[in-house]
Amino acid sequence: MLANLRTTLNASLIERESEIDALLLGLIAREHVLLIGPPGTGKSLLCRSVAAGIGGARYCERLLSPTTPPESIFGPISLSALREDRYEHVGAGSVTDCELLFLDEVFRGSDAIRDTMLHLLGPERQAQVGTQQVQAPLISAVGASNSWADTADQAAILDRWLIRRVVRPVSPQGRQALLFDVLPPVAPVVTLGDVEAAHAASRCLALSDEAKAALLSILDELHGAGICPSDRRCRKAVSVARAAAVLDGAMDVQPAHLECLADVLWDLPEHADKAGEIIRQIANPVGARLTEILREVDEAVSEATDVSERMAAVKKLEASEAEAVKLKASANGRAEKVVTYIRRERVRMQALALGIDPAKAEAILGASK
């Protein structure tokens, strides 16, 4: 059922397939997701859209700052409790009264709020609010920030986010859809019961022998590169891989399902790129090459600023497209999307070099054929 939610979200958001999958994996595995990216990249919209697609889900959203008072997070102080010499908060509608939580500017909260959040985001989902120990119904929280935590005292809260992903602006190719397409709103397509069923299914899913061997190889290679994720993070990574298999409708966890661990199996942000490279190469070599092709394409396009450079970029993109077409034979589902992306970028470069309106170039040059 969550595959239906994935389809709905992909139809409503532009170039956010990987981020959507990250949030859905967080829901299935009952883990938290951190989104890092510049302002205006749709991090808030992404979270609100996921919440809108789940019928009956209670959603709470808070913006943190150094001056955010506890009442803004945990609800107003109960006046009736104060009359009886008790310090309590009215938690209805607060962070302790929701299944889905979005915390914007998550690293800017005060020390007191951050420490309380450590407990709320822990496996017990409990928080000391006033004089009460509150049990929250939280399934998954999403945090957002424009940059990584930059102080050592924020390491603990950074580690609470098991899945951590960088969100980038849409590509020049996607900009036209962003500006002019009318995107359908997200309506409920699954229920909280469906989310619970997916979680229960993931806990029962077995890892294939190939997946076990691949995971051990990944950890060995990471260690050899000086990347040593904590024991807790390694253990929880298995739950995320199981969630990926459930989202794909698989009967067990295969090596390709480990690719999502590129957002999991590292502790320090400076290790993220290297860890991702190692994990993708072992879990899904074809996918790793497709990712490298896309990087090469974007690099060629970004460096092309005049007519001659754009024509040279077109030749480079033609070679990249031919390689991606060959990779389609491996039955890798991503290859088709990569081919389409490269083809449209090639057409856009041709249009710019020839002085043709890029919006009309695909029809003129027959790139969609």
The residue range of the domain holding 350 is: 286-365
Do both 228 and 162 map to the same domain?
Answer: no
Average pLDDT, the chain: 90
pLDDT, tens digit (0-9, with 9 covering 90-100), for 69-120: 888 888 888 888 888 878 788 888 899 999 999 999 999 988 888 888 888 9
Q: State residue 164 phi and psi, 5-degree precision.
A: -130, 125
250/315 same-domain check: no
Choosing from 240, 255, 279, the residue where a domain stops is 279
Q: Are residues 165 and 259 in the same domain?
A: no
Residue 170 and residue 30 in one domain: yes
Percent of the chain clearing pLDDT 70 (strictly above): 95
Q: Are residues 105 and 230 in the same domain?
A: no
User: Residue 289: pLDDT above 60?
Assistant: yes
Prediction pTM value? 0.86
Instruction: Say whether both 120 and 40 belong to one domain.
Output: yes
CA distance 215 to 213: 5
- Residue 36 domain-assigned? yes
CATH number of the domain that 30 lies in?
Answer: 3.40.50.300
pLDDT at 20 over 60: yes
Distance CA 203, CA 140 (A): 16
Q: Where are the beta strands (DSSP E) in 15-162?
A: 33-36, 54-55, 59-63, 100-104, 126-129, 132-135, 140-145
Residues 219 and 158 grouped into a single domain: no
Q: Characterise 75 by phi-psi region: left (phi > 0), alpha (psi -120 to 50), beta (else).
A: left
Asked whether residue 253 carries a pLDDT value surpassing 50, the answer given is yes
**pLDDT tens for residues 152-204?**
778 888 999 999 999 999 987 788 788 888 899 999 999 999 999 999 999 99
pLDDT at 184: 92
**Cβ atoms of residues 107 and 68 within 8 Å:** no
Is residue 330 a contact partner of residue 286, using CB atoms and an 8 Å limit?
yes
Do 125 and 251 share a domain, yes or no? no
Q: For residue 74, is it within any domain?
A: no
What total number of domains does the chain contain?
A: 3
Whether 83 is covered by a domain: the verdict is no
Give a yes or no: residue 51 inside a domain: yes
**pLDDT at residue 340, rounded to an integer:** 87
- The model's pLDDT over 299-345, given as tens digits with 9 standing for 90+, comes to 898 888 888 999 999 999 999 999 998 887 665 667 888 888 898 88
